[in-house]
Chains A and B, each alone.
Chain A
């Protein structure tokens, strides 16, 4: 059974940094393109970033480009999202997902506030 477990969310001040982790089980993270998707409180889903199987091809939403970095550690079977220069508008529940296959974690909440 595929499971995705996010961690690393929390309260951070504007301009701060956080690193989200997504521990995968039931499959290997290098075998599929994996994404981060976020959902601001009361709002819709927003795609944030994807890393392809090669690990070299990464993609970002314009709203996070230059501030967020997606990566993975195959030895730990874990996906990451390094988030720098955080803004209030980054406040959201962040999901790790393989949306095309219907695999989603339960999300980790990031709150950016002073």
Chain B
């Protein structure tokens, strides 16, 4: 099974900060990766598909990059509504897997 390792597992940041979360795959997955955001008590929300394509309606401060084994999600200027937990998920092969999550908290 392909393992996805997210880092950091949590971070504290201020409104306006630039934040980058990384997701490393245990083997190459091309661009078969999505990023989603989850707020407490809510279902996850898709942000990025195919590693770097912004989902319709998602603010442009979110961006994704990478291919192969190394991926990143960047929030260019953190907003109050961005405090949440972020997950990557790979679709290259079964079993599908999620990263362990990155909790973004207010500093």
Contacts and interface: CB of A to CB of B under 8 A. Distances in A.
B43 A100 contact: no
Interface string B62-102: 00000000000000000000000101010100111111110
B44 A104 contact: yes
Interface string A31-63: 000010100000011110010000000011110
Determine which residue in A47, A59, A105, A107 has the highest number of CB atoms from chain B within 10 A of its CB, and name it.
A47
B44 A45 contact: yes
A95 interface: yes
B96 A47 contact: yes
A85 interface: no
A61 to B, nearest CB: 5
The range of chain B's interface size is: 20 to 34
B96 A35 contact: yes
A69 B55 CA distance: 31
Interface of B: 1, 34, 36, 38, 43-46, 49, 55, 85, 87, 89, 91, 94-101
Interface of A: 35, 37, 44-47, 50, 59-62, 95, 97, 99-102, 104-107
Contacts of B91: 100
A106 B43 CA distance: 6
What 6 A-B pairs have minimum CB-CB distances, sorted nearest first? A102-B46, A104-B43, A59-B94, A47-B96, A44-B101, A45-B98
